[in-house]
């Protein structure tokens, strides 16, 4: 890419050149509106529906269950709003470590729609307390939505969505899983997963920004969040982002075809960096279930708080090293990580998230660790 070292792939990723190649015809000569009946419109309509079929096949879903959106935030908003407004959910069970796209949407309905919200306890390693979740479901007297993310974008912890889905099934609750960090990173079989809504965003797996998906189980009937035309089978008005949709499908196709090779390589880089950090900066600690049930792409590390470490993100940036102090949605707000505050209450530590992709190397890890030693 350039002389920068990019270790913030949980925020966004470099677009695969093969994805851009697939998109280019729809950025140039194939510019028709898919709602038009003449040939220019028909060819772009075909591109959208072929992309839908590709995505559905890769996720083992029915094409009618896949809706294209502007990204994970819109998809999360649509699912939660639909559960409250259309499915009659008067109670939401979530956690304190969800992405803000979920957390703030739930807060909105809690304040404006008299929706009761319960937060499942989070264990010290960052995992959801499943026993507490079941107790909350047992105690529910109202129709309930459970909204829990499949993988935490800051610490990488993976949720057992099958176990959560089966609990929801047992207690007749709806289940929304924010899968933005796992679509494109793990094979998903939605035919065999007890979930009502999942979400995805192409830019998390080397696709374009501004396009996502919302999976809605075929047994769930909801109204659109965005109203207007009849696009997306009357579910999401607005002229379709053709090139983005084509890019989403191509990126997912590449990601799933290369999953075994890429995931093994990326996990090797993550483990190598963890070992090098531990060897050269032994005072560090890891946040989350780093070497257990965790994303192979994310490594969250806390450094002892000193005058130097408080400036570490700034100084790494000066040295052309891109990392994050938390979610990309809050890193510019100087608020710190709400996730780390829940699981690590030590005020004398500075957390940094390193997140990796297939384009990273062990040599880059060596450079970053050496630079960290110098800066600290």
The catalytic residue positions are 329
Give me the sign of the Cα torsion angle 58, 59, 64, 67: negative
H helices present in the chain, as ranges: 17-27, 39-59, 72-85, 100-112, 130-139, 161-170, 231-234, 242-257, 259-280, 312-318, 338-343, 362-375
Report the candidate in 354, 290, 57, 76 with the shortest Cα–Cα distance to residue 187: 57
Rounded to whole angstroms, what are the CA distances from 343 to 91, 121, 141, 159, 340? Answer: 25, 11, 30, 16, 5
Characterize the bridge pairing of strands 212-216 and 197-201.
antiparallel
Reduced to 3 states, what is the DSSP secondary structure of residue 67? strand
CA 42/CA 46 separation, integer angstroms: 6
- At 186, is the secondary structure helix, strand, or coil? strand
**Cβ-based neighbours of 131, under 8 Å, separated by 6 or more:** none
Helix and strand counts by DSSP (H, E) for the chain: 12, 12
> What are the residues facing 302 on neighbouring strands?
285, 351
């Amino acid at each position: 890419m350039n002389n920068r070292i990019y270790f913030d792939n949980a925020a966004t990723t470099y677009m695969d050149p093969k994805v851009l190649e697939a998109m280019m015809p729809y950025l140039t000569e194939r510019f028709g509106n898919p709602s038009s009946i003449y040939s220019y419109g028909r060819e772009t309509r075909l591109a959208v529906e072929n992309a839908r079929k590709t995505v559905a096949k890769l996720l083992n879903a029915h094409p009618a269950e896949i809706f294209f959106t502007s990204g994970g935030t819109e998809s999360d908003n649509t699912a939660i709003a639909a559960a409250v407004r259309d499915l009659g959910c008067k109670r939401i069970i979530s956690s304190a470590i969800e992405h803000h796209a979920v957390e703030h949407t739930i807060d909105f309905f809690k304040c404006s729609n008299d929706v009761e919200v319960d937060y499942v306890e989070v264990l010290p390693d960052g995992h959801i307390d499943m026993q507490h979740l079941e107790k909350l479901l047992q105690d529910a007297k109202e129709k309930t939505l459970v909204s829990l993310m499949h993988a935490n974008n800051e610490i990488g912890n993976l949720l057992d969505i099958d176990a959560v889905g089966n609990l929801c099934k047992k207690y007749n609750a709806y289940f929304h899983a924010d899968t933005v960090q796992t679509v494109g990173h793990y094979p998903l079989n939605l035919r065999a997963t007890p979930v009502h809504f999942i979400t995805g965003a192409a830019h998390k797996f080397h696709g374009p920004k501004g396009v996502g998906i919302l999976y809605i189980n075929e047994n769930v009937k909801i109204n659109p969040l965005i109203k207007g035309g009849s696009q997306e089978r009357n579910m999401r008005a607005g002229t379709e982002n053709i090139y983005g949709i084509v890019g989403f499908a191509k990126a997912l196709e590449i990601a799933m075809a290369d999953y075994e090779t890429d995931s093994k390589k990326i996990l090797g880089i993550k483990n190598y960096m963890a070992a090098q950090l531990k060897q050269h900066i032994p005072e560090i600690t890891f946040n989350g279930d780093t070497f257990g049930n965790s994303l192979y792409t994310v490594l969250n590390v806390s450094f002892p708080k000193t005058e130097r470490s408080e400036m570490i993100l700034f100084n790494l940036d000066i040295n052309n090293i891109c990392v994050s102090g938390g979610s990309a949605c809050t890193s510019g707000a100087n608020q710190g990580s709400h996730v780390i505050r829940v699981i690590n209450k030590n005020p004398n530590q500075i957390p940094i998230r390193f997140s990796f992709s297939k384009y990273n190397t062990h040599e880059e890890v060596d450079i970053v660790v050496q630079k960290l030693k110098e800066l600290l």
